[in-house]
């Protein structure tokens, strides 16, 4: 059954993963490099109808989130249905379609826009265009099941009003083994959002104290080595379920990795250290949910009641916005309190989202107002969709001497990659000058996705080139994205 439906600047932290060779994981870790084909809309020229009428000033940008139910969103009649209610969709719901040529149009005022949707094994191809311009084909196939996630960001739009159109193609990535019709999910749209980094619960920036049950089953003594073990830490409906962000992904002969951590013990605590202007805690309500106290920077305590009549996944439990672009801490403390209707005091921690100012360039983006690739690759590289990468994919290099060259204009830059037990070291060069070798090894089960492996500020205004070179011939590296600060 389709898992989606019932009806159906310095960045810190956090990483990525895979196995059977590592963080993008497994012999089948790479999908065909032709999947995100087509011309990126408005990344290389002005599409039709992009210029306001003469003597009419462009509409003022209206940043913010717009749900799929907003008056500015138009769904093709009869083509869209409800998504699976067990997930924490933005605004409480989303829509899905498997109907070829079904469309969604969103009219907005702004210079860039992000489609918020979903990815998993059932995800199909969608064609995305702005103002009737050339379509960009977006691949929604991924091995982790990610809900309420940024699908694609379209930038370099002229000031004023635009219309984004999403079309269901009815096609899918040939790497998918799903027998369900390829699906497209539309959850919301963000106009002129900041950079969003999605950190998993096993990130090194998250420090636990107490009795939290880890998502790594090998550390718990479960899995392939002793399949007779059936304790609560081995139950796939508990901590490593594919319903959680990053959960259920595996490369044979491993047991599933990722998921969520949980505890029922009062006084258990975790602290996330991050740099950014907002933060969210992602977890889930459930019939045995308890109450946790949340603090940012040691400030006022906010009690969060996680009780719900049915178990839900990938829900936003707490958010804090309006922070200074500086280092902060988020602390979650488990209490012995619960809703009178709850049968327990369980607290789940699934992931965290942190926003930072600047512009993120995905691994396959083009330069602003250009069709020229922002990152060029030499050596042995392949597209990877096996983990919770930024906007669904990353580039993976398996051979020493493989180089990614990123060209940008700005005063600061971060290389976003992954650190885990199968990731090798990289050499970083900026404008041809070596910045040293950076080790990316982390002992399992700690894994750092969306991680800023190298960051630098204070560059002279103008164009620069950052090079990332693989060193090891036995461990791979990943290029997930680059974040630029102080750019145009």
Which residues partner with 477 through β-bridges?
Answer: 397
Which residue, 374, 376, 452, 371, is CA-closest to 409?
374
238: left (phi over 0), alpha (psi -120 to 50) or beta: alpha
Other C-beta atoms closer than 10 Å to the C-beta of 327 total 12
Longest dimension (CA), the chain: 75
Which residue, 6, 61, 23, is CA-closest to 396?
23
- 167 contact partners, CB below 8 Å, separation of at least 6: 101, 102, 103, 126, 127, 128, 129, 135
- 470 contact partners, CB below 8 Å, separation of at least 6: 379, 397, 399, 400, 401, 402, 403, 424, 426, 476, 477
SS3 234: helix
CA Rg value for the chain: 22
**How far lies 53's CA from each of 56, 58, 131, 164, 341, in Å?**
6, 9, 14, 19, 59
The reported pLDDT for the residue numbered 251 is: 53
What is the chain's pLDDT, residue by residue, as a tens digit (488 residues)? 444 333 333 333 333 333 333 333 333 334 433 333 333 334 433 344 454 555 678 889 999 999 999 999 999 999 999 999 999 999 999 999 999 999 999 999 999 999 999 999 999 999 999 999 999 999 999 999 999 999 999 999 999 999 999 999 999 999 999 999 999 999 999 999 999 999 999 999 999 999 987 644 433 444 433 344 444 444 433 446 789 999 877 554 444 567 899 999 999 999 999 999 999 999 999 999 999 999 999 999 999 999 999 999 999 999 999 999 999 999 999 999 999 999 999 999 999 999 999 999 999 999 998 889 999 999 999 999 999 999 999 999 999 999 999 999 999 999 999 999 989 999 999 999 999 999 999 988 889 999 999 999 999 999 999 999 999 988 999 999 999 999 88
Which residue, 256, 338, 279, 269, is CA-closest to 304?
338
- In whole angstroms, give the CA distance from residue 353 to residue 355: 7
Structure-token match 């505890």, residue found? 263
Architecture of domain 206-356: Sandwich (2.60)
Which residue, 476, 299, 455, is CA-closest to 400?
476
In this structure, the dihedral spanned by the alpha carbons of residues 147, 149, 151 and 157, taken in order and rounded to 10 degrees, is 150
The reported pLDDT for the residue numbered 444 is: 82
Sequence length of the chain is 488
- In whole angstroms, give the CA distance from residue 95 to residue 168: 12
Domain 65-197: CATH superfamily is Galactose-binding domain-like (2.60.120.260)
pTM assigned to the model = 0.84
Which residues partner with 81 through β-bridges?
Answer: 96
- In whole angstroms, give the CA distance from residue 16 to residue 49: 40
- In whole angstroms, give the CA distance from residue 212 to residue 257: 16
Stretch(es) of the chain classified as CATH 2.60.120.260: 65-197, 206-356
> What would the two tokens of residue 81 be?
């249905």
- 120 contact partners, CB below 8 Å, separation of at least 6: 3, 4, 140, 141, 142, 143, 144, 145, 146
- In whole angstroms, give the CA distance from residue 282 to residue 149: 12
The reported pLDDT for the residue numbered 249 is: 74
Q: Give yes or no for a contact between 418 and 389, defined as CB atoms under 8 angstroms apart.
A: no
> What would the two tokens of residue 291 be?
């109450």
- In whole angstroms, give the CA distance from residue 387 to residue 251: 11
Which residues partner with 451 through β-bridges?
Answer: 417
Residue 371, Cβ density class (10 Å: 0-12 exposed, 13-18 middle, ≥19 buried): exposed
> What would the two tokens of residue 240 be?
């490593």
DSSP string, 82-145: E--TTB--GGG--EEE-STT-EEEEEEESS-EEEEEEEBTTB-EEEEEETT---EEEE-B-SS-
Instruction: Walk across the sheet containing 351-356 and list its strands.
Output: 195-200, 351-356, 278-283, 315-320
Beta strand segments in 155-267, E: 161-168, 184-186, 188-191, 195-200, 206-209, 261-263
402-423 pLDDT tens trace: 999 999 999 999 999 999 998 9
First to last CA, the chain: 46
The reported pLDDT for the residue numbered 248 is: 72
């Amino acid at each position: 059954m389709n898992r989606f439906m019932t009806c159906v600047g310095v960045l810190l932290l956090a990483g990525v993963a895979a196995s059977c060779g590592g963080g993008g994981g497994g012999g089948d870790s790479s999908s065909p490099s032709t999947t995100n084909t087509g011309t990126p809309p408005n990344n290389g020229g002005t599409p039709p109808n992009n210029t306001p009428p003469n003597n009419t000033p462009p509409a003022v940008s209206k940043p913010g989130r717009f749900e799929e139910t907003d008056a500015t969103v138009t769904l093709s009649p009869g083509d869209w249905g409800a998504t699976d209610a067990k997930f924490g969709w933005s605004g409480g719901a989303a829509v899905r379609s498997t109907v070829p040529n079904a469309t969604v149009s969103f009219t907005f005022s702004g210079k860039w826009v992000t489609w918020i949707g979903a990815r998993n094994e059932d995800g199909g191809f969608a064609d995305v265009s702005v103002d009737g311009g050339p379509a960009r084909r977006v691949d929604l196939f991924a091995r982790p099941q990610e809900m309420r996630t940024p699908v694609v960001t379209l930038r370099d739009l002229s000031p004023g009003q635009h219309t984004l159109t999403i079309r269901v193609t009815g096609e899918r990535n040939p790497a998918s083994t799903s027998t369900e019709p390829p699906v497209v999910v539309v959850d919301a749209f963000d106009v002129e959002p900041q950079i969003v980094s999605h950190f998993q619960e096993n990130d090194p920036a998250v420090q636990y104290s107490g009795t939290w049950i880890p998502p790594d089953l090998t550390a718990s003594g479960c899995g392939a080595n002793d399949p007779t073990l059936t304790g609560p830490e081995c139950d796939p409906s508990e901590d490593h379920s594919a319903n959680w962000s990053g959960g259920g992904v595996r490369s044979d002969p491993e047991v599933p990795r990722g998921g969520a951590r949980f505890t029922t013990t009062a006084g258990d605590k975790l602290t996330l250290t991050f740099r950014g202007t907002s933060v969210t805690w992602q977890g889930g309500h459930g019939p045995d949910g308890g109450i946790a106290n949340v603090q940012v920077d040691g400030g006022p305590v906010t009690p969060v009641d996680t009780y719900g009549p049915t178990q839900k996944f990938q829900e936003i439990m707490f958010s804090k916005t309006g922070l200074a672009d500086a280092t902060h801490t988020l602390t979650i403390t488990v209490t012995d309190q619960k809703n009178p209707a709850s049968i327990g005091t369980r607290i789940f921690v699934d992931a965290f989202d942190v926003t930072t100012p600047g512009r993120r360039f995905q691994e396959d983006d083009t330069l602003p107002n250009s069709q020229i690739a922002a990152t060029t690759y030499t050596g042995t590289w392949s597209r990877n969709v096996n983990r919770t990468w930024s906007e669904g994919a990353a580039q993976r290099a398996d051979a020493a001497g493989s180089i990614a060259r990123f060209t940008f204009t700005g005063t600061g830059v971060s290389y976003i990659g992954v650190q885990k037990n199968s990731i090798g070291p990289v050499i970083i060069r900026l404008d041809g000058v070596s910045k040293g070798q950076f080790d990316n090894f982390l002992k399992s089960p700690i894994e750092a996705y969306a991680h800023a492996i190298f960051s630098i500020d204070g560059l002279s205004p103008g164009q620069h080139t950052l090079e990332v070179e693989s060193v090891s011939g036995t461990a791979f590296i990943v290029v997930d994205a680059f974040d630029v600060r102080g750019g145009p």
